[in-house]
Amino acid sequence: MTAAGLVPAGDERLAARSPVRKLLGRPEVGAVVGAIAMFVFFAIIAPVFVQPDSISTVLYGSSTIGIMAVGVSLLMIGGEFDLSAGVAVISSSLTASLFAWYFSTNVWVGVLLGLVFSLGVGFVNGWILVRTKLPSFIVTLATFLMLTGLNLAITRLVSGSVSTLDISQLDGFGVAEQMFAADVPVFGITVKITVFIWIALVLIASWVLLRTRVGNWIFAVGGDEDAARAVGVPVTKTKIGLFMGVGFCAWIGGMHNLFAFNVVQSGEGVGNEFLYIIAAVIGGCLLTGGYGSAVGGAIGALIFGMANKGIVYAQWNPDWFKFFLGLMLLLATIINLIVKKRAEQK
């Protein structure tokens, strides 16, 4: 997809790098090309795909993955990944829902408790990681399993079934619903509020990455942890902070999940962690860290959303969806690998 951008520039002193070449050197360029290609492809074979309502649906689907992909992308740029991210979303909504229902409190008490819980899970993940120096695969696999079990067990203890009970009669539900699951009318079509939250998160994350000191540290701890430590970067704080960032995104995702459906299925979320990682990887984040962008993760999520819904609009068998996703992932990873080699060897 980006073959043109991968040709070595020759003697760079002779000619200034053209803006086009500069653009092609960005991490998310492969994903942008892929997203455009996919949009055009589905627009041609399924004209209904480009209707405003369909676009709104695609954006909504993308946003639920994309919100998490923001946190996961930053974490991956910081050199780690989080297998517990999928169930952590459900854990957050369960915490909020079960607490508010059991004690019949205002839902906002539950919402805030969910935030504390999600940030806490992120902190524990990060803290264990930096203290034990175990790979994030092991640490977050463990928290993934523990959260999966807790979700099921505690939900059954409290509500007596596999799902939570309806909290829509509790105080504060209306405002919370407006905040996390509202339909926003835009030029005659309704767009879910998660789309705007998603865009806002991407903008904030991009700003943090590129224009703040913390952003510099995130790239550094992912690119070379020892080097970063040697020049005085607070590696431990940065890593724990990144895991807590994933926790924050999980809280937003969890709250949307809760207020959009009123009840939460305790067994959901398993497997979603891979969708977030896939979105980040397709978007140009290196699995090994140190390279990537928040915008890339967002475009990765958009590709996911388009493939997911496009197949439905094209009236294909959805069985094909996973195949496409796998293919996209493979292509994206190969491109990333070439980019990294080029940067390190020249």
Partner 1 sequence: MPETANPTTQVVEVPVTETSETVAGAPHLIALRDVGKHYGNVIALSDITMDVDAGRVTCVLGDNGAGKSTLIKIIAGLHQHDAGTFSIMGEDRKLSSPRDALDAGIAAVYQDLAVVPLMPIWRNFFLGSELRNKLGMLDVPAMKRITKQELLDMGIDLRDVDQPIGTLSGGEKQCVAIARAVYFGAKALILDEPTAALGVKQSGVVLKYILRARDRGLGVIFITHNPHHAYPVGDRFLLLRRGKSIGYFEKSGITLAELTGMMAGGAELEELAHELEQVGGQTERIEEIRAAEVVPGA
List residues near partner 1 by CB under 8 A: 12-13, 17, 210-213, 215-216, 219-220, 223-224, 226-233, 286, 290-291, 340, 343-346
CB of 223 to partner 1, least distance (A): 4
How many residues are there in the chain?
346
Residue 319 or 344: which CB sits closer to partner 1? Answer: 344
Residue 248 or 291: which CB sits closer to partner 1? Answer: 291
Residue 210 or 334: which CB sits closer to partner 1? Answer: 210
3-state DSSP of 6-19: HCCCCCCCCCCCCH
CB of 297 to partner 1, least distance (A): 17
Residue 138 or 337: which CB sits closer to partner 1? Answer: 337
CB of 279 to partner 1, least distance (A): 21
192 CB burial (10 A radius; 0-12, 13-18, 19+): buried
Residue 168 or 212: which CB sits closer to partner 1? Answer: 212
Residue 13 or 133: which CB sits closer to partner 1? Answer: 13
- DSSP per-residue string spanning 248-312: HHHHHHHHHHHHHHSS-BTTTTTTHHHHHHHHHHHTT--TTSS---HHHHHHHHHHHHHHHHHHH
Contacts from 179-184 at CB under 8 Å and sequence distance 24+?
A: 179/255, 179/259, 180/252, 180/255, 180/256, 180/258, 180/259, 180/260, 181/256, 181/259, 181/260
Go through 112-143 and write b for each residue having 16 or more CB atoms within 10 A of its CB, e for each that does not. Answer: ebbbebbbebbebbbbbbbeeeeebeebbeeb
206 neighbors 294 (Cβ within 8 angstroms):
yes
Interatomic CA distance for residues 158 and 150, integer angstroms: 12
CB of 241 to partner 1, least distance (A): 16
Interatomic CA distance for residues 219 and 297, integer angstroms: 15
Q: Which residues touch 263 (CB under 8 Å, ≥6 apart)?
A: 97, 163, 164, 165, 166, 167
Residue 7 or 210: which CB sits closer to partner 1? Answer: 210
CB of 39 to partner 1, least distance (A): 30
Residue 98 or 209: which CB sits closer to partner 1? Answer: 209
CB of 13 to partner 1, least distance (A): 5
Query: Among 251, 245, 257, 264, which residue's Cα sits nearest to residue 116?
Result: 251
Residue 50 or 287: which CB sits closer to partner 1? Answer: 287
CB of 293 to partner 1, least distance (A): 12
The phi, psi pair for 177, rounded to 5°, reads -65, -40
CB of 231 to partner 1, least distance (A): 4
Q: Among all chains, which residue has been given the structure tokens 């004690």?
A: 103
Residues forming a β-bridge with 190: 185
Say how many C-beta atoms besides its own lie within 10 A of residue 206's C-beta.
18
CB of 136 to partner 1, least distance (A): 19
